[in-house]
Amino acid sequence: MVPSQLREVLAHFTLRGSIAEISPYGSGHIHDTYFVKNGITGCPNYLLQRINHHVFKNVPLLMDNIEQVTLHLRNKLEGMPGARPDEEVLRLVQTHKHRSFHADAGGNFWRVYLLLEDTRSYDIVENPQQAYEGGKAFGKFLALLADLDITHLHESIPDFHNVESRLRLFETAIRQNLAGRVKHVPEEIAFVQQRAEGMSTICRLGREGKLPLRVTHNDTKFNNVLLDKHDRAQCVIDLDTVMPGYVAYDFGDAIRTTVNKAAEDEADLDKITVDLRLFKAFTEGFLKETSAMLTDEEIASLSLGVTLLPFIMGLRFLTDYIDGDNYYKINFPEHNLQRARAQFRLVQVLEENIETVQHTIQQASTSHRALLLNQQK
Ligand code: ADP
Ligand code: GN1
Ligand code: MG
């Protein structure tokens, strides 16, 4: 989109000051995001997003979810001493028609957030403090939303982390072979098929009523938490997929992007490793905020999420590759395949470390619960 078109879009929102500059921003795979710099000192900068309506098919319901979630978070924080709701919760800017998004004549949907200044998001985690703070941010997010009625939220993408449904879509993609690429990926297909049954455990436990559905974030990539200039947790962002889910999904997706020091799409598979110090730090932060509310079964399910989420992401990237790259933005022709291979390697490395993963989770939850009991005495 050229700047003049973006300015036209921005004219529908109740912005303060004047627009000095608009530039592409962030590294997301779904939406188009722009940084909007204000030309007037003292007026805020903004973040403009064109919402991908091929992925989010019902934008009004999606935006209703985000309005509910941000309002709930803000109300909760307002009652907490020391909290800073304006810095800790995303704020949507209204249009002149008092709506949270603008639908243009070309069928595109747009929204604007206030830019949270002096924040950073990390595609790759650099040290345990960042990991710990990220764990706290995502954990606190779940804890604050625990009393939002899940029936009030819409499923913005049905069956988003349902691996059984993802496996069915994968089998269909193989059968249809629309891009003629199935012949290139026999090893990756075998990798998926070998693990398909084991990876369905969370779905099964859910069906059997052993895991509660909660309001979960469902896209807890580490770069979806903003840290402040001291690397302290500030705000969880990217709220499009907040909907009912299992806590292991949020834990697993965050671990996927925390413990691997290589990029999500690393081509050199030998660079994909698991940093157990980062794992421990994230887990400590996450369970500090959540161990009081989680059931024993949920705590035990967290390690299942640790291998499931990179598996699901690899499966989705591979399915998109086989389908001919319709879903994710790609930067080169084999990008989705490279992403899938990197995620599958991560699954393997995590499987090799699974006992340490389980032990670390149990230890962290036991010590946080003991601490809580002591505080209550
Ligand atoms: P995507 O779905 O494309 O990942 P995000 O909503 O996560 O889009 O935004 C992309 C990036 O923009 C984030 O990783 C973060 O760095 C930055 N960002 C998003 N919202 C804000 C905000 N309100 N304030 C500051 N930075 C933001
Ligand atoms: C997408 O929008 P972004 O880049 O934060 C995707 C996530 C994947 C992620 C993989 C709606 O997230 O599910 O985990 O890419 N979001 C959607 O990087 O599909
Ligand atoms: Mg994001």
- CATH code for the domain of 38: 3.30.200.20
Q: Give the pLDDT of residue 375.
A: 86
* Ligand 1 in reach of 28 Cβ (< 6 A): yes
Asked whether residue 177 falls in the same domain as residue 37, the answer is no
Q: Which atom of ligand 2 is found nearest the CA of 241?
A: 11
Ligand 3 centroid–CA 216 distance in Å is 15
Q: Of the bound ligands, which one is closest to the alpha carbon of residue 309? A: 2
Ligand 1 centroid–CA 352 distance in Å is 33
d(CA 298, CA 247): 7
* Ligand 1 in reach of 25 Cβ (< 6 A): yes
Asked whether residue 69 falls in the same domain as residue 22, the answer is yes
Q: Which atom of ligand 2 is found nearest the CA of 317?
A: 10
Q: Of the bound ligands, which one is closest to the alpha carbon of residue 264? A: 2
CATH number at residue 255: 3.90.1200.10
Task: Point out the domain boundary residue: 114, 142, 161.
Answer: 114
Ligand 1 centroid–CA 35 distance in Å is 9
Ligand 3 centroid–CA 49 distance in Å is 11
* Ligand 1 in reach of 238 Cβ (< 6 A): yes
Residue where the block lists tokens 């291998």: 307
Ligand 1 centroid–CA 288 distance in Å is 25
d(CA 343, CA 269): 9
Q: Of the bound ligands, which one is closest to the alpha carbon of residue 54? A: 2
Asked if 285 contacts 133 with a C-beta cutoff of 8 angstroms, the reply is: yes
Q: Give the pLDDT of residue 342.
A: 98
Q: Give the pLDDT of residue 349.
A: 98
Q: Give nearest CA residue, ligand 1 atom 11.
A: 26
| pTM for the whole structure | 0.97
Asked whether residue 234 falls in the same domain as residue 363, the answer is yes
Asked if 253 contacts 308 with a C-beta cutoff of 8 angstroms, the reply is: no
Q: Determine, yes or no, domain membership for 192.
A: yes
Domain range enclosing 100: 3-114
Q: Give the pLDDT of residue 328.
A: 96
Q: Determine, yes or no, domain membership for 245.
A: yes
Sequence-ordered alpha helix ranges (H) in the chain: 3-10, 59-78, 85-88, 128-145, 163-176, 186-195, 201-207, 247-258, 276-290, 296-323, 335-352, 354-376
pLDDT in tens, the chain (377 residues): 778 899 999 999 999 999 999 999 988 899 999 999 999 999 999 999 999 999 999 999 999 999 999 999 999 999 899 999 999 999 999 999 999 999 999 999 999 999 999 999 999 999 999 999 999 999 999 999 999 999 999 999 999 999 999 999 999 999 999 999 999 999 999 999 999 999 999 999 999 999 999 999 999 999 999 999 999 999 999 999 999 999 999 999 999 999 999 999 999 999 999 999 999 999 999 999 999 999 999 999 999 999 999 999 999 999 999 999 999 999 999 999 999 999 999 999 999 999 999 999 999 999 998 888 888 88
Q: Determine, yes or no, domain membership for 119.
A: no
Q: Give the pLDDT of residue 374.
A: 86
Closest CA to 299 of 350, 254, 248, 347: 248
Asked whether residue 223 falls in the same domain as residue 263, the answer is yes
The tokens of 306 are what? 């640790």
Asked whether residue 151 falls in the same domain as residue 47, the answer is no
Q: For the chain, how big is the Rg over CA atoms in Å?
A: 21
Ligand 1 centroid–CA 183 distance in Å is 37
Asked if 225 contacts 138 with a C-beta cutoff of 8 angstroms, the reply is: yes
Total structural domains in the chain?
2
* Ligand 1 in reach of 83 Cβ (< 6 A): no
Asked whether residue 104 falls in the same domain as residue 211, the answer is no
Q: CA geometry: angle at 222 spanning 199 and 339, to 5°?
A: 55
* Ligand 2 in reach of 238 Cβ (< 6 A): yes
* Ligand 2 in reach of 219 Cβ (< 6 A): yes
Asked whether residue 307 falls in the same domain as residue 217, the answer is yes
Asked whether residue 55 falls in the same domain as residue 30, the answer is yes
* Ligand 2 in reach of 289 Cβ (< 6 A): no
Q: Give the pLDDT of residue 373.
A: 85
Q: Give the pLDDT of residue 83.
A: 95
- Burial environment of residue 20 by CB neighbours within 10 A (0 to 12, 13 to 18, 19 or more): exposed
Task: Point out the domain boundary residue: 114, 138, 173.
Answer: 114
Q: Determine, yes or no, domain membership for 122.
A: no
Asked whether residue 102 falls in the same domain as residue 183, the answer is no
d(CA 222, CA 280): 15
Q: Of the bound ligands, which one is closest to the alpha carbon of residue 253? A: 2
Q: Which atom of ligand 1 is found nearest the CA of 26?
A: 11
Asked whether residue 29 falls in the same domain as residue 156, the answer is no
* Ligand 2 in reach of 330 Cβ (< 6 A): no
Own/partner long-range contacts of 328-336 (Cβ < 8 Å, ≥24 apart): 328/29, 328/30, 329/29, 329/30, 335/265
Asked whether residue 100 falls in the same domain as residue 41, the answer is yes
d(CA 345, CA 266): 10
Q: Determine, yes or no, domain membership for 121.
A: no
Residues 6+ apart with CB under 8 A from 16: 38, 40, 43, 44
* Ligand 2 in reach of 29 Cβ (< 6 A): yes
As beta bridge partners, residue 22 has 36
Q: What is the DSSP code string of 58-87?
A: -HHHHHHHHHHHHHHHHHHHHTSTT--HHH
Own/partner long-range contacts of 295-298 (Cβ < 8 Å, ≥24 apart): 295/212, 297/205, 297/210, 297/211, 298/211, 298/212, 298/246, 298/247, 298/248
Q: Give the pLDDT of residue 2.
A: 79
Asked whether residue 107 falls in the same domain as residue 166, the answer is no
